Structures are given as C-alpha cells and as structure tokens.
Structure 1
Amino acid sequence: MSWERYIKHFVAYLKIEKGLSENTILAYQRDVTKLRDFFEVSHTTPTTISYNDLKNFIADLYDLGISARSQARIITGVKQFFLFLILEEEMDHDPSQLLEMPKIGRKLPTFLSIEEIDELIGAIDLSTNEGHRNKAILETLYSCGLRVSELVNLKFSHIFFEQGFMRVIGKGNKERLVPVAPGVEKEIKLYQEGIRQHLNIQKGHEDFVFLNRRGKQLTRVMIFTIIKQLSERIGLNKTVSPHTFRHSFATHLIEGGANLRAVQEMLGHESITTTEIYTHLDSSFLREAIISYHPRNKK
C-alpha cells in the first residue's frame, strides 16, 4: 500500500473512530506527511520503518531548526499513526514506542491586563456595522474564554440567555456549558438586532452568530485580522491573538480568586495540570496575597 493510502485511511480513522476535531486531524496529517517526505526518498514504507529510522527522522527535525515544542507535537502525531497501523494489523510492533519527547520548558502564555483589554475594545469604531460585531466578538472571547474555533462555530441554538449559559463544542467534539456574562448578552443582542438581521444571510449560515458582510460564517483568519488591526491602532507592544483573550480570561479569574477546578471546566481542559499554567501570578501579587492572608502575618 502506498503512503497516500495509509495516510488517507489514517485520516478516516481519526475522523470516524476517534472523533477528533478538524484542526487536530489536519495537524496529525501534516505530521505524518513530514514522515512520508523523509522516508519516500529512500523508498521506505510505513510498515518497514524501524526505531533507528525514526531516531534519524527526529534528528533531521532538530537539524532543520524545528523547536522542541514543535518536535514534540510531530512525535505525538507519528505515535498516533503507528498506533493506527497496529490496530489495523498492518504491523505487529510499534517502532515509535520508545521515542522520547524532547525536553521543553513550560511556556507561560501571553496575557493582557484589564486596562489593555479595555483599550482594545475601546478602539473599535462603532460607527461601522462591523464595529458592533467586533465588539461582541471581543467581549465573547474575553468573558467566555472561548477558543477561536469555538467562537466562529458558535450558534444561536447553543445560547440560552434566560438560563445564562452557552453550549460550546470544543476539542474532540466535547461539549461544555460556559456562563454568559450580562455584558456578552448585551453586545450579542445589540449586534443581532441592530446589524445582523439586516444582512443577506446565506443558506446554511442562518444559525451562526458571527457573520461577515456577505452573510457567511466568519473564518478564524478574520478574527486574527480584527485583533491585529486593533492592536496596531492602539500601538500595543505585544503579540496578540484570539488565544490571548482566552489566556487573559483564565489569568484574571485566578488572580481574582476563582477556583482552579471551576476555571478548568470553563476552559474545557481535560487535565487540571493544563489549567495550572495560569497560576503564573507576578511576584507583587503573590507577595500581597501571602502578606494579607497568612495567619502569621495577621495582627
């Protein structure tokens, strides 16, 4: 069987049996494509690859200057591919089993201060139709902690304003309930009633909350562009993306005293260790907390 057929069947397995999100599937597909590109030169097929062959592949990634974090992600995709071949009985041993992940430092996420978020939202031009939509977008990203894919796929049928919740479809098609703040409800309704209802909404896009001027679902790229333009407008000296609002959401909640387990649920993290990265409180905040609350410091 050719590499292309193996990869095609692997993608089908990820989609149908594993039920992974489209973005995760594309990432794994890219990882295995890198594997194919490396071994096709020597006419090596997936079922004849050895552990030493894979070590050479990883060494090549290092030589290309690919970061340890990216290497780790590629190795994860490769391991999934060989697991699939074992399950399909194409192989009776897993050459990737002993592959070690490169050591990577725990990268602290970039986040914005409350003042910076207020400044970004304040820079939106509300004299345009897109302005009201963009304000609703930023309020939703920041107040609900959504991923950009969750935002662009948000539907009105998943929002329950009376109950104060929205149903979000996250990674791996996992659902969670996220509280809807009054400010989010206000901005979405202003956009819905004042702007959105006057659009020529295209068939199949009626239920999506955020639309472009042609009445179609917004893309991830468009959200990135909106945020980049606002950052440039206020001269923000930080690299800001939609995910920055999610990081800020989590950071500000924890700094405000929110329970880590509750934040984990709202973010849709499978493991609480993923959420713990948001406990990167600055030293002054940490000192103030200790001085204020430790029993030895109370008079």
Structure 2
Amino acid sequence: MEAYKDIAECIEKYFTDYLVKERGVSAHTVRSYRDTFVLLLEYMNKEKKISADKLGLDDIDRSIVLSFLDWLQEVKHNAVSTRNQRYATIRSFYEYMMYEDPVHLSHWKSICSIRIKREERNSVKYLTVDGIKAVLEQIDTNTREGRRNLTLLSLMYNLGARVQEMIDLTPSSIRASKPYVFELFGKGAKKRLVPVDDNMMNLLGNYMKEYGLDRPGMDHHPLFFNSWRAKLSNPGITYILHKYASMARIAHPDIVPSTPTPHTFRHSRAMHLLQVGVNLVYIRDLLGHVSIQTTEIYARADSKLKREAIENAYRDLGITEPDVKSWEKDPKLKAFLKSLA
C-alpha cells in the first residue's frame, strides 16, 4: 500500500486551493473551518498524545473522529448543533481527500460514513417588542460610546443581521438616498439588500457624523469599531449586548427573562415581522435564508399565530369551531366509541 501523504500539506492545499480558490468561501467560513482543525489537533495532542508535528493522516480514522466529536460535547461542552458543524468540516476535508488521494479511498469513505447526531429542536428564543425596547433603554446616550452602542444594537435588530454581517459593515454598505438600503453578505458570501426606515437612518447618520465616517476616504472603514479603529469582534458585540440586557433583566425580569444573544435579536426581528402579518417569503429574503423551510420555524414557534390561523380558517368557511368534547353529548356515539375498547 502506498504511503499516506503529508497531513500538513493536504490541509494547507485544502484551505488555499480548494476552499479559497475553487469554492471561494468567505473569510468567516475559513475561520470556522480553521477552528475545527485547531480543536482536532488539540484533541490529538491532549487525549491521544500525538503532537501536531508527529501527526499523520493514518493516525485519524473513523473511531478517532467519533471520539473527537464526543470529546467536543463532554469536555468542551459543545451543543449537538456545534458538534455536527465540526463534523461537517471534517467530512468536507475527507471528501476532498477522496480525489486528492484515491489510493486510500476506503479510509476516507469510512470517516465520511459517520452519521450526524440527532438534536432536539428547541423553540425559537426571542424578545417581545417591549423586551427589545427595555434593552435599548438601558443605554446611556449622554456618552459617545453609548450613542455608538445604541446605533449598533438598533441597526442589528432592524436589519435582522447575523453578528458577522454587522462586523463586516462599512459605509459603502449603505445606500444613503431613499429608499435606504443596506447591502449584507451572509453565509457563502451571498449578497442581500435590506431596507431601513427614516428613523434608523437618522440615528445612523448622526453616529457616522460624530465618528467621522461621513468624510471622504472612509467608504471601506469598519462601520463599528473599537478604540484601535479595528472591527468589533463577535465577543465584543456580544459583550455590549449582555451589558445592557443584564441591566434590563434586573429592571424588567418579566419581559427580559434571560440574557439574549446577538442571534436573539435576529430571531426577534423575524418574529415581530411575522406577528404584524409580513409574508414569510419576504422574511426569508430579509434574513438571507436559502429555503423557506428554514424561515418556517418562526411560524411554528408562535402559538398565538397558530391559534389565530385556525380561528380564521373556520371563520372563512362560515362554520363554528367544533367542541373537542362534543362526542360526550351524544350517548349513541359515546357507547359506540367505548365498545371499540
């Protein structure tokens, strides 16, 4: 049997030639895939006592990958969804290896045969409109930083944006003439246009003027940045949100029952649009979902909407909603049903 190729060279080619040049994935995807390999190297070093410089492609087989995935859950406390995302990265690499090194095809196929782990689907977590207001009201707008944070969180909610999409915004992302539109780049570098209203643009315009982002030559500067004028990071935006959400929980525990994440703001925007009657297809396009099935989680999550839909259906048909226990009032039907036992 021919010797295995060098793992470092294969991983490097996978990233530079396959992911970046051939598939053209976003920088965010590259970082996510990179993190998976960093964790795999950490696992092999700590649990299998094989350091990165000694590691070979033949050291990682189906059983090792399964153990690594369990380690992510048990030691790193990753959710099932995160475990499955990490495996998707590993599987992508070994699918690439099928063509890069077909001599060991059976080895690569055995790793790719691992099934994703079933996960419980939790209900969508979102804040009510009052909950969003309660968080934003905690921001002290008498400070320069506070005005930035209000603009950041308000825009994140209005756009229904992912946190990485907020990080990547620049002044060039904005069409500053009516109708006001933001250009966002989502997963897979897919572009979408999201409109905002006059109030949001007024808030943003004041922020940009205060921070000098309306000057010539600032088109590609990060729209939201830290004291070093570098892009805010995912943990940085999460910290800002948690700061005000924690204050809101103390002041309004009934409407802010738990600390929201940036993605909670995205879910909240979608739910609020749905609740005022916006079509799911429009919400899909606003959020940048590939399939309407993904967006349907919001319709399934809102029990009030379900109830109203049922009531409207009966009303449209001109009938009264049936009594679920009406059989109890019919002695013949009751006797028949009991006889079936």
TM-score for both structures, normalised by structure 1:
0.85
Of stretches 266-275 and 118-127 in structure 1, the one that deviates more from structure 2 is 266-275
User: Relative to 1, partners in 2 of residues 1:122 and 1:8: Cα closer, same or farther, differing over 3 Å?
Assistant: same
User: Take 1:219 and 1:205, find their aligned partners in 2: how far apart are those partners?
Assistant: 20
Shift of 1:62: 6.0
Q: CA deviation at 1:131?
A: 1.8
Residues 264 and 272, structure 1, Cα contact 8 Å, conserved in 2: yes
Q: Number of aligned pairs?
A: 296
Amino acid at match of 1:113: T
Within the candidate set 201, 206, 210, 1:190 is matched to 206
Separation (CA, whole Å) in 2 of partners of 1:247 and 1:224: 15
Find out whether 1:170 has 2:186 as its counterpart. Answer: yes
- Tell me, yes or no, if the aligned pair for 2:172 and 2:219 is still in contact at 8 Å: no
| 1:220 alignment partner, one of 213, 234, 241 | 234
Q: Deviations over 1:177-218 (max 9, x none)?
A: 11122222111011112x21299x9x9885322233444432
1:18 to partner: Cα distance: 2.0
Assess if the C-alpha contact under 8 Å between 2:271 and 2:298 holds in 1: yes
Is 1:3 the counterpart of 2:15 in the alignment?
no
State how far apart, in whole Å, the 2-side matches of 1:244 and 1:113 are. Answer: 11
8 Å contact from structure 1 (residues 161, 180) kept in 2: no
Gap change, CA 1:148 and 1:44, over 3 Å in 2: closer
Q: Which residue of 1 aligns with 2:105?
A: 92
Q: Which moved more, 1:24-33 or 1:240-249?
A: 24-33
**Aligned residue in 1 for 2:95:** 83
| Aligned equivalent of 1:253 | 273
The Cα of 1:112 is off from its aligned counterpart by: 0.6
Which of residues 14, 20, 26 in structure 1 aligns to 2:19?
14
Q: Which residue of 1 aligns with 2:257?
A: 237
* TM-score, structure 2 as length reference: 0.76
> Identity over aligned residues, as a percent?
26
Q: Structure 1 stretch 73-82 or stretch 155-164: which is displaced more?
A: 155-164
RMSD between aligned residues: 2.9
Question: Counterparts of 1:165 and 1:115 in 2: how far apart (Å)?
Answer: 26
Residues 280 and 59 (structure 1), Cα distance of their counterparts in 2 relative to 1, 3 Å cut:
same
Unaligned runs of 5+ in 2: 251-255, 321-341
Displacement of 1:63 in angstroms is 5.8
* Counterpart AA for 1:79: R
Q: CA 1:231–1:111 in structure 2 vs 1: closer, same or farther (change >3 Å)? A: same
Judging changes above 3 Å, is the alpha-carbon distance between structure 1 residues 281 and 69 closer, same or farther for their aligned structure 2 residues? closer
Task: Quickly say closer, same or farther: Cα 1:220–1:59, change in 2 above 3 A.
Answer: closer
Q: CA–CA distance in 2 between the matches of 1:54 and 1:220?
A: 28
Higher Cα radius of gyration: 2
Alpha carbons of 1:298 and 1:211: their partners in 2 closer, same or farther (altered >3 Å)? farther
Matched residue type, 1:7: I
Aligned equivalent of 2:85, options 66, 73, 92 = 73
- In the superposition, relative to structure 1, how do residues 262 and 75 fare at CA in structure 2: closer, same or farther (>3 Å)? same
Amino acid at match of 1:148: V
